[in-house]
Structure 1
Amino acid sequence: MPASDAANPPTPPLDDGAAYLALQTHDSRFDGRLFVGVTSTGIYCRPVCRVRLPRQQNCRFFPEAAQAEAAGFRPCLRCRPELAPGLALVDSSRSLARSAAVLLERLLETSEDIALPAVAVRLGVTERHLRRIFQAEHGVSPIQWITTRRLLLAKRLLTDTALPITQVAETAGFGSLRRFNALFQERYRLTPTSLRKQQPGQETLAPEGVRLHLGWRPPYDTQAMLDFLGGRPLLGVEALHDGAWWRTLSLPGRQGPCQGWLGLRFDARREGVELTASPGLVPALPQVMRRVRHLLDLDAQPQDIHEALRGMPRARPGLRVPGCMDGFETTVRIILGQQVTVAAGCTLAARLVARLGDPCATPVPGLTHLFPTPQALRNTSVDTLGQLGIIRSRIDALQALAAAVLDGKLDLSPGASVDDTLAALRALPGIGDWTCQLVALRVLAWPDAFPASDAAVLRALGTRMPRRAQALADAWRPWRAYAVLQLWHGLASPAPSELPSGHPDHEPLAAP
């Protein structure tokens, strides 16, 4: 990835004294980045846990939950380590081992058995080297890491939902219920049934689906995120209703495609978002959770980002970079947004949905269709797409994009190689640097993405020269994507949808 290790050095580990201070003060900045095992109880906790403070000599500190479990500690039933925020992709790009963790997490969502040799090939290394660097970085083997992820997900589903235990095991990636029960009891010293009985009040199965809470590290500017999502409506697929944001979604599952709808409601008091997923999406719940975290940038480390951007005037520390729920969908919207206003780009996308999207029944007003698949877009005639008001050069770009995705030449997801993905995009007709940088920012979750030719960025920086904008932005590496959000929000009127375009390969405020 372009974000080099030298430009983005890893955060040094805390010494025991500093780690214990974080535990004493319940410092939320270290939530998900620090876990404490208490030798007198055999339990490990998050630094925000409100149980009685253990003595320092009884504490062992770990950067990952998998390391705590490998050392024999079981998760706290009060602070629940499975609820801790994850790490943003900037951490994942620092080493091959972190990139491997991102890829493994994606694979375990759709496959019970993960072949490490195939993972190694994807990363361009030998299996032996993959195992060695993974152990060195994460402190556990890939298999131990995967097992911990699956068990913590199962523990969460047992505690927060009323899903049958068989479905919990399957959703968490265990093909055998017997093995799941045995492994759960071996690791956590209680059975899945007994865990559920200990916290019966936590079972919350909504009539319309499953509800889960996804946390963030404060501060979080919820209004800015809602404004961004609501200001770029995709009719038929997305809707703001009853104080929440809703959308339809289709995902690959172990037994075939999973389709349905979801809702997101911010809860600032609990420092997180309430996710409601329809029954059709429950088999793909790990994917749904991961994609929501990416969409809302829930795993960002705001203190690190704010420190790097503190020189920006009127910097808002709670701003997050809006991601996406589907990389293909968002890339299509970015292409449709070239050289037009935000409102015009949304109109073109809505026409595409109405003509090519499959119907999807939902209880939410305005949610009627799924976004068109790559197959549908590739197989639609040029004349049909032209009737929607899409110009020929955009049609060529969209159909080339769909073909590249279907042929496996393009990976539009967080964790994909930024260099390889942008090179593949640039090889397609009608795609230039602005489009590539917006894809890197929103789809690939690259925190250093910077669309230097964006009209709003140039206006905010007081220049018409992209090279000058690049030079000014160097001071914000490796967090330039967050600087872009600061620049956009720092603009005065006119509203984004009223700004004219001014570059052959961009639209002023990223319509997607």
Structure 2
Amino acid sequence: MRDEDARYEAVRSRDARFDGEFFFAVLTTGIYCRPSCPAVTPKRRNVRFFATAAAAQGSGFRACRRCRPDAVPGSADWNVRADVVGRAMRLIGDGVVDREGVAGLAARLGYSARQVQRQLTAELGAGPVALARAQRAHTARVLVQTTDLPITEIAFASGFASVRQFNDTIREVYAATPSELRATAPNGGRGGRRATAPSAEIPLRLAFRGPYQSGAVFDLLADEAVPGVEEVSGQPGRRTYRRTLRLPHGTGIVAVDERTGTVKSASGSHPGGWLDARLHLTDPRDLTTAVGRLRRLLDLDSDPYAVDERLGADERLAPLVAARPGLRSPGAADAEEVAVRAVTGKAGAQRLVARYGKTLDAPSGSLTHLFPEPAVLAGAEPHGVLGALTAALADGALRLDPGADREDAQAALAALPGMDPATAAVIRARALGDPDVAPPGLDVPDSWRPWRSYALQHLRAAGELD
């Protein structure tokens, strides 16, 4: 939706389908919002549109306290696009700019820092520093309003270089000091569960747009769960998925609850809304990365309206889409782990965890291990396709990070001795989050593009594919 008149109509109708796809700002108030904001619709002449929250902030607008535009799902464009802008946005979402700076981002993309700055600014109205800053502000707000971490700790956990930079950004983005922001939390500023211990719990809501077939996602997670690393508990409709994560600064244990039914919003009842999650992190600086990995695993930034419209027009798929609107194509919480598991299968993955997985310092129930790193596996089991895969991952010949070039990764996979095309297709769909993958040998019409990964999920759910 790039036409501004069409965008204004979406704002007038408070259409939640476009939350996160664009933002609008009001010149008379100096505030920017998501399209579904329940406030009185401003006059067209007073409205400006932005592709990102960072661009709105860069133009001097503050985030609306009513609709919280920073908490919307990410744009589905970043799932689909394989160009440098799409890859850059996925890397920024994973926290690369905070950890490695713009130079590190550019190096991962294979471009100069100036080229990356120019392309992002030209298309999104904000460069990598501004985009990362907007993300840090959102992370900070979550920590301020859901934990009792001291403000100073939150500043550095959110990725800010100094407390002063943190304070200035919060005042600029939210028109409030961190203490005032904490006082506006739903529980009256008492924070969340006490968060002074390293493994304290951070509660979150993981937003998504449109219908979401959580049952199908949790069925898959339960079927694939590797003991020691993952578990799914509870009855269908009320299940909880838990797993361990290796993160840049430490480790984590994350939990996500299945959600069914509808959510009431200012614009009425609509399917979906959010999944409740809890994160236990040994280092709060990993919050942004952990959330991003959960979102990719659960495919929360998809645009189900676009997917269902295209696939629902196909005679074969139409009844399947009607039966399961909003069916997702799950990705990976750890791309390298998913690649290894695609090669070994579930039983093989269990064996690897038992032999080579690192034991958690503080196990949580049945969660006791981290999945072994590629370098460990490459040294321990160097032979066969598993050895070739883990060696390529360990030395960087194969990259599966959020900013990896999908075609380069495909070529690297194909070059591995013993790698069969079907397994490579699974890795591309799951580890790289490619929405348009069809397994070799299956007659798939071009009319299913660019959502062939989703079409296959529908066929599997209907029992037409293994």
TM-score scaled by structure 2?
Answer: 0.88
What letter corresponds to residue 488 of structure 1 in structure 2? R
Q: For 2:58 and 2:155, how far apart are their aligned partners in 1?
A: 21
User: SS in structure 1 opposite 2:257?
Assistant: strand
Q: 1:292 aligns with which of 284, 288, 294?
A: 294
Shift of 1:281: 5.1
Q: Is 1:325 aligned to 2:325, yes or no?
A: no
CA distance 1:174–1:297, shift in 2 (3 Å): same
Q: 1:478 aligns with which of 450, 454, 460?
A: 450
**2:32 paired with 1:35:** no
Distance apart, 1:348 and its partner CA: 2.0
Inter-partner Cα distance in structure 1 for 2:194 and 2:296: 24
What secondary structure is seen at the aligned counterpart in 2 of 1:20? helix
Match of 2:214 among 194, 217, 222: 222
Q: Unpaired segments of 5 or more residues in structure 2?
A: 264-272
Secondary structure of 1:317's aligned partner: coil
Q: Residue 67 of structure 1: which of 39, 52, 55 is its match?
A: 55
Residues 437 and 451, structure 1, Cα contact 8 Å, conserved in 2? yes
More strand by share: 2
Structure 2 counterparts to residues 416-495 of structure 1, below 5 A? 416-452=404-440, 466=441, 469-470=442-443, 472-491=444-463
Matches of residues 91-490 of structure 1 in structure 2 within 5 Å? 93=81, 95-108=83-96, 111=99, 114-116=101-103, 118-199=104-185, 201=187, 203-205=191-193, 208-242=200-234, 243-253=239-249, 258-268=250-260, 269-270=262-263, 271-280=273-282, 282-310=284-312, 311=314, 312=317, 313-315=319-321, 316-336=324-344, 345-360=345-360, 364-380=364-380, 395-452=383-440, 466=441, 469-470=442-443, 472-490=444-462
TM-superposed CA distance for 1:54, in Å, is 2.8
Aligned with residue 51 of structure 1, among 32, 36, 39: 39
Per-residue CA shift, 1:124-174, capped at 9, x if unaligned?
A: 334433322221111123322222222222223222333322222122211
**Contact 1:108/1:173 (8 A) holds in 2:** no
Offset from partner CA, 1:17-55 (integer Å, 9 cap, x none): x22321232211101012121222211111122223333
Q: CA contact under 8 A between 2:78 and 2:86: conserved in structure 1? A: no
For 1:314 and 1:200, locate their aligned partners in 2 and report how far apart those are by CA, in whole Å.
40
CA distance in 1, matches of 2:229, 2:106: 37
Which residue type is aligned with residue 147 of structure 1? R
State the shift of 1:364 in Å. Answer: 4.5
Give CA-to-partner distance per residue, 1:343-368, whole Å, 9 cap, x none: xx322211211111122266643212
Q: Which amino acid aligns with 1:483?
A: A
For 2:77 and 2:366, locate their aligned partners in 1 and report how far apart those are by CA, in whole Å. 33
CA contact (8 A) 1:174 1:180 kept: yes
Count of residues in correspondence between the two structures: 440
Larger radius of gyration: 1
CA 1:107–1:263 in structure 2 vs 1: closer, same or farther (change >3 Å)?
Answer: closer
Question: Which residue identity is paired with 1:278?
Answer: H
Q: Report if aligned partners of 2:146, 2:185 keep a CA contact under 8 Å in 1.
A: no
AA of the residue aligned to 2:311: L
Asked if the contact 1:261/1:362 (under 8 Å) is kept, the reply is no
Partner of 1:500: none
Determine if contact 1:109/1:284 at 8 Å carries over to the other structure.
no
Kindly state the Cα deviation for residue 83 of structure 1 after the two structures are TM-superposed.
0.9
The one-letter code of the counterpart of 1:317 is P
What residue identity is the alignment partner of 1:356? Answer: Y
Deviations 1:263-322 (A, max 9, x none): 111334452111211142533111100000000000000111111101114222211001
SS of equivalent to 1:412: coil
For 1:69 and 1:90, locate their aligned partners in 2 and report how far apart those are by CA, in whole Å: 20
Name whichever of 314-323 and 179-188 sits farther off: 179-188
- Residue 294 of structure 1 aligns to a residue in which SS? helix
- The residue identity in structure 1 corresponding to 2:359 is P
Letter in structure 2 aligned against 1:13: R
Q: Which AA in structure 2 matches 1:249?
A: L
Q: Percent identity, please.
A: 37
